[in-house]
Amino acid sequence: MNRIAIVVFSALVLCACAAQQQNAAHLPPAPPSGEPSGIAGLQSQQLRVAFGSPAFVRKDSNVEIWRYDGAGCRAFFFLYPDASGLSVRHVETIPRPSDAAADDACLNRLRLGGKAVS
């Protein structure tokens, strides 16, 4: 009976590993590391001054995600606690270029409130 349990358990583990590898193959690659210039380290107040009020805020414990929606793109700012309150540690945009987590053109449009630069 013990051997049967071991065989069944081993088969279940192998199936789970195969399924996990199959699921991992369908996930998109993680965005490249690195942050757009002048964004990482912004305090929450500075982010509001630069981008206005977010369209959506999600709070998980003491971490916040602020979403900004613009014409043709969205930006997600990840704010973490520091000595001064909350500061931006990461930003991603949708869409994003294949070689970066955030599109500078999207961030620039959002920073200007969606207004065209003359």
- pLDDT tens for residues 48-99? 999 999 999 999 999 999 999 998 999 999 999 999 999 999 999 999 888 8
Nearest-angstrom CA–CA distance, 96 and 118: 24
* Segments making up each domain of the chain, as ranges: 30-111
Residue type at position 78? F
Q: Which of 24, 30, 27 is nearest to 90 (CA)?
A: 30
State CA 77 to chain mean position distance. 7
CATH for 30-111, among 3.30.1450, 1.20.5, 3.30.930, 3.30.60? 3.30.1450
pLDDT band at 102 (very low <50, low <70, confident <90, very high): very high
d(CA 91, CA 102) in angstroms, rounded, equals: 6
Q: At what angle do helices 104-111 and 44-51 cross, to 10 degrees?
A: 80
The verdict on pTM exceeding 0.95 is no
